[in-house]
Structure 1
């Protein structure tokens, strides 16, 4: 075959044959395409081919948190380090949770997480609230558990509990006290207790000092680590009162009346309570479900 043969143009007959072939293909194909398009359009217009809507994103359900004192928290130590359960229990108590048992976890429990919160099926919100206190804590639902309490199993990954929220001076109605008499004046504890009640304080025990101390000053206010702010407020109502920190738990204080006591500070001279910023309602986020 020569170079001339390779470059030779098709004959007129060949061009006419190719042209007819293209016309036939167009004649056969185009109606089918148009018919298919019209059929699909009609199906959509009649609702026969409604596209499937995208599945809605699953969002957690945010609800008000249960009151912290409304259920009990048991703390178990699965770290092998002495005192870890007591440490976590103290932290939860400082955050107003009610602590039940404090113990070691069974030796067969190997917990690598910071903590695992065990709860019954009806008490997810309580478990979620406790989970918020320990970064990295996980939940474990015990289907056979019916108790309202939850168990916190402290694991090897535990580092710390969340920081305490800001503290504010308690109001009189938020302070509970015992009033004790160490003087020879009969009925003095009852008189002082009545006056404190009139000022809005809560009074529990009224008696002679069970520690049998003799106070020569106006009053001694005994309090624990968590009751420092309450003791400070009570001291504003008794001139020259002395503060004494002891090892008690909770915020209750003892007002121990001494021999130099002559009366409470006039209300007009007691500092007004400091304003508190508005606190947001505590919430928990229930995990979303795809069901």
Structure 2
């Protein structure tokens, strides 16, 4: 092996060792590893699950808040085709909105995902007393259709990460 080749290998090895050292130092000194999780929480505040869920992990109730017969069943089938877990279908009091999303502290991340299916035009109705993770979707008279997969992905990008409602402690549960 020539001297130039040995010198090149030494330089590459030195650069690899320096990169490893910088990576370890960055991980050890990371001050943002728990950013936004539990900071400033008051005792007694409910824990809001801000984990962005996959559709297969989200349980929903689809309710018809319009005069259109069978709308809840049709949209529930659409959600089921998109891998959501349908708990119930039925009727609800009439609403003029596109949709109303009702959820509790355990459904914050799930409701955030569902907002994207309505292009962030759904009214959110947070209930701090609700104990389950199921999200109620009440379809209103302004509803036309669910967003396409591309529109959902773009809307999720626009929405950013799920945010805990006021007077809750954000947690990420697995």
Q: Does 1:245 align with 2:134?
A: no
SS at match of 1:271: helix
Corresponding residue to 1:216 among 73, 92, 96: 96
Q: Taking structure 1 as the reference length, what is the TM-score of the superposition?
A: 0.36
Higher helix share: 2
What RMSD in Å do the two structures reach over aligned CA positions?
A: 2.7
Where structure 2 has 5 or more consecutive residues not aligned to the other structure, the ranges are 1-43, 158-173
Question: How far apart, CA to CA, are the structure 2 residues paired with 1:238 and 1:167?
Answer: 19
Q: 1:197 to 1:243 in 2, by over 3 A?
A: same
Is the 2:99–2:139 contact (alpha carbons within 8 Å) kept by the matching residues of 1? yes
Matched, 1:193 2:76: yes
Runs (4 or more) in structure 1 with deviation over 4 Å come to: none
Per-residue displacement from partner, 1:48-106 (whole Å, max 9, x unpaired)? xxxxxxxxxxxxxxxxxxxxxxxxxxxxxxxxxxxxxxx7xx98xx6xxxxxxxxxxxx
Secondary structure of 1:178 counterpart: strand
Bigger RCO of structures 1 and 2 (CA < 8 A, at least 6 apart): 2
> Hey, what's the Cα distance between the residues in 2 that align with 1:184 and 1:205?
19
Q: Name the SS of the counterpart of 2:67 in structure 1.
A: coil
TM-score for the superposition, normalised by structure 2? 0.58
Please tell me whether residue 256 in structure 1 is matched to residue 138 in structure 2. yes
Query: Could you say what secondary structure the match of 1:270 adopts?
Result: helix
Alpha-carbon separation, structure 1, partners of 2:101 and 2:67: 19
What is residue 265 of structure 1 aligned with on the other side? 147
Distance 2:78 2:149 in 1: 11
User: Which entry has the higher C-alpha Rg, 1 or 2?
Assistant: 1
Aligned pairs, number: 113
